[in-house]
Amino acid sequence: MALTFYHGHGSPYSWRVWLALEHLGLPYELKVLSFADKDLTKPEFVAINPRHQVPTIVHDGFALWESLAILEYLDEIAGGHRLFPGTAQERARAWRLIREDEEHLDGKGLTPIYDELYKKPEGVAPDEARLEAGRRKLVEEMEYFGRELRGDFLAGSQPCAADFVLYPDIAYVKRIGQKKPQSKLEGILPAPIAKWAARIESAPYFDKTFPPHWRS
Ligand SMILES: N[C@@H](CCC(=O)N[C@@H](CS)C(=O)NCC(=O)O)C(=O)O
């Protein structure tokens, strides 16, 4: 089985897949693409993924993109039901948590804050009301996800796909809090989520997945 994983450091979508690949113990070849060098729009990558996005995998000649499709596929080829474990109801719950993270925590909390602090033209002040609304939403959502923990992780004693989708967003909350004091995100993780994040970060494979440019 030959599996190639195209990754971009800092992409939360790609980070999900890397954590999952490692957790499942699947062998893969890592190809890191550089956003700065515009690797994603080079013809050789566009020929693989016409949407020129990471994550992308190629498995025995089959190219697949969209992180959630990839997670489901990896779970299948790893032998089943480790990223989406349990009964039909438990697997449906994992999908619900994934969509809730994307829709609410990310879409209504993190993304507006990221847009205000990183995407505005130089010299344009962030919209404080939008920042504050995003911050309030983040806190509310992190408390919600804290209540959704079932033991150490979202579905029990092992991380599932929902943990790997949520984690990069929480890492972004921490990162923005450190780098942008005006975000007032530093220290806002509720205790259950801070402890859960520390558990993900203590996995033996975690360190190599950490974006190298975040180390400073
Ligand atoms: N819905 C996609 C989103 C992937 C995505 O937005 N990837 C970004 C990096 S965070 C990307 O590759 N952007 C480069 C481009 O669009 O050219 C997924 O879940 O995989």
**Annotated domain spans of the chain:** 3-77, 88-210
Please list the alpha-helical segments (H only) found in the chain.
12-24, 43-46, 67-77, 88-100, 111-114, 128-147, 161-179, 191-201, 206-209
Which residue type occupies 191?
A
How far apart CA 129 and CA 151 sit, in angstroms, is 36
What is the model's pLDDT at position 9? 98
CA of 87 to the centre of ligand 1 (A): 31
- Whole-model pTM: value is 0.98
Amino acid letter, 24: L
Cβ–ligand 1 contact at 66 (below 6 Å): yes
Residue in the structure block whose two tokens are 């079932």: 150
C-alpha distance from residue 135 to each of 66, 72, 108, 169, 171 (Å): 28, 31, 9, 13, 15
19 burial level (CB within 10 Å; 0-12, 13-18, 19+): buried
88-210 matches 3-77 in CATH topology: no
Atom of ligand 1 nearest to the CA of 66: 20
Q: Which CATH class is domain 88-210?
A: mainly alpha
CA of 160 to the centre of ligand 1 (A): 22
* Regions of the chain with pLDDT less than 50: none
- Cβ–ligand 1 distance for 11 under 6 Å, the answer yes
Report whether residue 67 contacts ligand 1, using a CB cutoff of 6 Å. Answer: yes
Ligand 1 closest atom vs CA 12: 10
Distance (Å, whole) CA 155 – CA 158: 7
pLDDT score recorded for residue 16: 98
Span from the CA of 39 to the centroid of ligand 1 (angstroms): 13
Order of strands across the sheet with 3-7? 29-32, 3-7, 56-59, 62-65
What per-residue confidence (pLDDT) applies to 80?
81
- Measured by CA distance, the residue closest to atom 15 of ligand 1 is 53
Question: How many Å apart are CA 105 and CA 37, to the nearest integer?
Answer: 30
Closest CA to 167 of 198, 143, 141: 198
| C-alpha of residue 191 to centroid of ligand 1, in Å | 30
Q: 193 CA to middle of ligand 1, Å?
A: 26
Core vs surface per residue 188-203: b (16+ CB within 10 A) or e: bbeeebeebbeebeee
Q: Which CATH architecture has domain 3-77?
A: 3-Layer(aba) Sandwich (3.40)
Rounded Cα–Cα distance for residues 6 and 31 (Å): 5
pLDDT given at position 130: 97
Among 129, 17, 30, smallest CA distance to 83 is for 17
Does ligand 1 come within 6 angstroms of the Cβ of 49? no
52 lines ligand 1 (CB under 6 A): yes
Q: Which residues partner with 29 through β-bridges? A: 4
- In this predicted structure, what is the pLDDT of residue 1? 65
Using the mean position of ligand 1's atoms as its centre, give its distance from the Cα of residue 56 in Å. Answer: 9
